[in-house]
Amino acid sequence: TMGADPVAYAIAAASALAPGIDAVELGAMSAAALSGDADGVAGLAERCAAAPAEFTACYNLGVANLLAGDARAAVGALRRAVVRRPTDRDAWRNLEIALLRARGEDRAAGGAPRSPAGDMEEAMLASAARAALQPMPLDLETRADAVEKPW
């Protein structure tokens, strides 16, 4: 039966009808992970840990971990995602959110003080994430397709 989540049902049905199609299997794992299913999370984690890591698996795992409240796990997965696709703004933004939440969790838990090197690494990552979100200016002279020229 379709149950409460028709999207997850549709992905599971497609996966059953077309076994072995990578995109469908990844979609099924992602839907399961986003709904909190441990097997879906484990499947994404396995694909993210593979060499080379799959961007989509790492990104979806990071988002699922972030939504589940596990900011530290989200940071690890999203770091791998931005390594695979450094121009993806959503991955950088979610990494920044995960870093801020992880830092807040550490402070709230009264964790051990971080080393200056660890603070510097997180500050650089957060700065890179913010920089990735800035619009890039177009060089209009070399990008003829960027604008319609009046002449």
pLDDT at 114 exceeding the cut of 60:
no
Q: What is the pLDDT of residues 85-106, one digit of tens each?
A: 999 999 999 999 999 999 887 7
Q: What is the pLDDT of residues 47-93, one digit of tens each?
A: 888 877 789 999 999 999 999 999 999 999 999 999 999 999 999 99
**Banded model confidence at residue 129, pLDDT cuts 50, 70, 90:** low
pTM score = 0.62
Number of neighbouring beta carbons within 10 Å of residue 13: 13
Burial (CB < 10 A; 0-12, 13-18, 19+), residue 126, is middle
- Say which residues have a Cβ less than 8 Å from residue 96's Cβ, sequence separation at least 6: 125, 126, 129, 130
% of the chain beyond a pLDDT of 70: 62
